[in-house]
Amino acid sequence: MEAILRKFESEGKAAAGGIEISYKTCCGDYPVYGEDGALLGTMFTYSYVRTDVESSQDRPVIFAFNGGPGSSALWLHTGLLAPKRIRLENPTAPQTVPPFELEENPNCFLDLCDVVIIDPMGTGWSQIIEETRQAEAYSYEKDGEIFARFIEDWIRKENRWASPKYLMGESYGTMRACVIPSILMGGPICTGAVSKGITIDGIIMMGTGLNVNPQPNWWDEYGVEKMVLDLPTMAACNWYFNREEKPDLHAFIAEADAFAGKELLAGLYRGNRMTEAETKSFIEKLTYFTGLSPSYLKKKNDRISLSEFSKELLGDEGQEIGMYDGRFVMHASGQIGMADPVADDGAMGRYTPAFRGGFLKLAEELGIDIDMPYHIINFNVNGMWKFDGIKTPLEYLRAALRRNPSLRVLLTNGVYDLVTTIGQARYAAGHLDAEKGQVILREYPSGHMSYVGEESGEKLSQDIRDFIEKEEMESCY
């Protein structure tokens, strides 16, 4: 089977940065090859380039992708980057049936930079040519090589060597964003074993998934008790539903973070060696931050997983909160049999239809006419993914920061995200060797997708603008 490389072009106008701008789009297939040169399939990409400027050759450009690793970039595309975005009348209780509408995106960046959005092979409208060989594209480093090759080809064809270049990855995409700079730089032990010398100006990580765990797999490094890292997010979700007699959100998170790094860490280490008075005080504080009962905490030996927390926090009310965004609520799943971790999640199960509906409207406006299914997330890709590599994501990122002192990293996380938590992001940021100002961490009153909700979306957009414009930025903690 041969691939027919599709291409769709359009023009449009948008309000961005307080002005009206003109832009063009080019959407289509990018070929993915195996090591022997055989065509395995295609990625589907979307380029938005401003046209009412004298020259684009030195304009910043963002290369954006989501996670999974089998996810399309529909989320970033329709939620943050396109000139139009999905309209969510109630961000934490969106409608789940049509009609789904678009609206002008007040957070669009096209006045400032051009945007290239990438759906990996196996997702979106990409094509799979060699069914029996598709797994060759599904590994940590091979995936990074494919993305790096696309970025290099795009820069070369558009003559954008002088443009500041940014990677924007969400969820697993944050791991992808760690490996790509090393492949663009190249070297004898790098995938492909070719020196390229292409540097990146900045990496924007959203829903930061860098893992530092007590019992690491291949991409983790040794860390501390997971409960210590998870407590600030548990505290944020508890505050959202039970904020009476508590300080404001960020002050409460700060209290939880301080408790986690001192008393919680020490208490989990000491266990039943604490005195009766120490144990009583410890449980009272843990109840204060988590909202869980002393009896439940004792039963769980003071260690609660995030999935257990999502079911227990509002369990007495017969409800559970979303893992991807703790502000979302669903009836408890006890009577539906085996719950799907994504489709039955309080957040993902609610906003996925709206994002899909909005994206298909957007695709029509881009002139895309494709008679095939659009795969938002392809879990078959996840199942075939090879989690191996010569470095962990943190090691790749450390190497990139060491080689390129001008590289800056913006880590962004929603405080209600129980999948990629703020504690994990804080811990990862604290274990990166970097120059002052190279690594900036920001947190928002949202979930896994920090652009959901007006307040969070505005703050996130401004932080990204400041980052690209190289404004001086401080970490939020």
Return the pLDDT at 339. 74
Residue 218, in any domain of the structure = no
Return the pLDDT at 194. 72
pLDDT of residue 177 exceeding 80 = yes
Average pLDDT over residues 323-344: 82
Please give the tally of structural domains in the chain.
2
Return the pLDDT at 34. 87
CB 171 within 8 Å of CB 66: yes
The tally of CA atoms less than 13 A away on the side-chain side of residue 388 is 4
Last residue of a domain, one of 343, 366, 398: 343
Which of the four pLDDT bands, split at 50, 70 and 90, describes residue 187?
low
- Tokens 């990293």 -> residue: 409
Q: Are strands 102-104 and 114-119 parallel, antiparallel or unpaired?
A: unpaired
Residue 477, in any domain of the structure = no
Do both 17 and 158 map to the same domain? yes
Return the pLDDT at 309. 96
Return the pLDDT at 251. 96
Residue 1, in any domain of the structure = no
Do both 208 and 237 map to the same domain? no
pLDDT of residue 359 exceeding 60 = yes
Residue 380, in any domain of the structure = yes
Average pLDDT over residues 408-432: 93
Average pLDDT over residues 320-341: 84
Return the pLDDT at 218. 54
Return the pLDDT at 216. 54
Do both 336 and 377 map to the same domain? no
pLDDT digits (tens, 9 = 90+) for 251-281: 999 999 999 999 999 998 888 898 989 999 9
pLDDT digits (tens, 9 = 90+) for 205-230: 999 888 765 555 555 665 678 899 99
Lowest pLDDT segment from 145-149, 200-204, 315-319, 472-476: 472-476
Which of the four pLDDT bands, split at 50, 70 and 90, describes residue 37?
confident
Average pLDDT over residues 461-467: 96
pLDDT of residue 382 exceeding 60 = yes
pLDDT digits (tens, 9 = 90+) for 74-133: 999 999 999 999 998 888 888 889 999 999 999 999 999 999 999 999 999 999 888 888
Residue 439: count of CB within 10 angstroms of its CB: 22
**In the predicted model, what is the mean pLDDT of the chain?**
90
Average pLDDT over residues 440-461: 94
Do both 203 and 231 map to the same domain? no
The token duo for 441 is 């961490």
Distance CA 113, CA 53 (A): 11
DSSP string of 327-388, one letter each residue: T-EEE--TTSSSPPTTTTSTTHHHHHHHHHHHHHHHHHHTT----S--BSB-HHHHHH-B--
Which of the four pLDDT bands, split at 50, 70 and 90, describes residue 1?
low
Residue 458, in any domain of the structure = yes
Do both 187 and 230 map to the same domain? no
Return the pLDDT at 306. 95
pLDDT of residue 322 exceeding 90 = yes
Residue type, 467: F
Do both 57 and 87 map to the same domain? yes
Return the pLDDT at 217. 58
Distance CA 401, CA 393 (A): 12
Return the percentage of the chain with pLDDT > 70, whole number: 95
Do both 249 and 288 map to the same domain? yes
Do both 256 and 327 map to the same domain? yes
Distance CA 129, CA 144 (A): 20
pLDDT digits (tens, 9 = 90+) for 227-247: 999 999 999 999 999 999 899
Return the pLDDT at 455. 93
- Provide the b/e sequence for 440-476 (b: ≥16 CB within 10 Å): bbbbbbbbbbbbbbeebbebbbebbbebbeeeeeeeb
Do both 230 and 209 map to the same domain? no
Domain that holds residue 318: 224-343
Instruction: Check which CATH number belongs to the domain holding 127 and give it.
Output: 3.40.50.1820
Which of the four pLDDT bands, split at 50, 70 and 90, describes residue 152?
very high
Do both 194 and 312 map to the same domain? no
Last residue of a domain, one of 343, 378, 394: 343
Do both 301 and 375 map to the same domain? no
Residue 194, in any domain of the structure = yes
Return the pLDDT at 42. 94
Residue 475, in any domain of the structure = no
Do both 168 and 57 map to the same domain? yes
Residue 378, in any domain of the structure = yes
Last residue of a domain, one of 314, 343, 372: 343
